């Protein structure tokens, strides 16, 4: 349909724009201002949801790969996983799972995940336990993240 063609065209334009302006938009504005601990609750929550949407959109593949290749970004998301708000931790999990699922993790990302593997598995095992009964997708994704972390090894 014409709408689908238009939507695809707009996603392509947006993806090009995000690639071109990655540092000022994603790093400076999103990471350092919107999802930092200094930002208010609603700003962090909406920004995390937007970040997740951007990273999971197929047309933003290059932006996603750049984001999940950064150990600094991983540390930012790990801090958000410890937020006192259950909504923030759930939104942070949606971004964290992309780091873990990446088959081509850079060595510095693997090291952070490996060094924190035991703590992460213990933490994730209890994360939003109440959701698992009613949200099959969440339960499956969380199980896959935990299994991937359990199998994580450092390359020698």
Average pLDDT, the chain: 93
Rounded Cα gap, residues 87 and 82, in angstroms: 11
- Mention every residue, 6+ apart, whose C-beta is less than 8 A from residue 64: 54, 55, 56, 98
Please, what sign has the CA dihedral across residues 28, 30, 33, 38? negative
What is the pLDDT, as a whole number, of residue 111? 96
pLDDT category at 156 given cuts 50, 70, 90 is low
To 10 degrees, what angle do helices 61-68 and 2-20 make?
A: 40
Reported as a single tens digit per residue, the pLDDT across 27-66 is: 888 888 889 888 999 999 999 999 999 999 999 999 999 9
d(CA 59, CA 122): 34
Q: Which two tokens stand for residue 118?
A: 């035991």
CA-CA distances (angstroms) from residue 58 to 11, 91, 147?
9, 19, 24
Contacts of 31 (CB under 8 A, 6+ apart): 72, 73, 76
| CA distances for 10 relative to 2, 19, 24, 54, 114, angstroms | 12, 14, 21, 13, 39
Residues 93-123: tens digit of each pLDDT: 999 999 999 999 999 999 999 999 999 999 9
For residue 22, what are its two tokens? 């990655």
């Amino acid at each position: 349909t014409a709408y689908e063609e238009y939507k695809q065209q707009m996603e392509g334009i947006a993806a090009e724009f995000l690639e071109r302006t990655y540092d000022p938009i994603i790093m400076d504005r999103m990471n350092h201002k919107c999802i930092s601990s200094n930002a208010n609750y609603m700003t962090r929550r909406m920004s995390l949801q937007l970040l997740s949407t951007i990273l999971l959109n197929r047309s933003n593949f290059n932006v996603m790969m750049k984001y999940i290749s950064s150990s600094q970004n991983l540390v930012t998301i790990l801090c958000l996983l410890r937020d006192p708000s259950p909504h923030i931790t759930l939104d942070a999990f949606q971004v964290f799972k992309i780091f873990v699922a990446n088959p081509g993790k850079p060595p510095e990302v693997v090291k952070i995940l490996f060094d924190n593997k035991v703590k992460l598995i213990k933490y994730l095992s209890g994360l939003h336990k109440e959701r698992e009964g009613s949200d099959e997708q969440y339960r499956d994704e969380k199980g896959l993240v935990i299994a991937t972390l359990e199998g994580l090894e450092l390359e020698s």
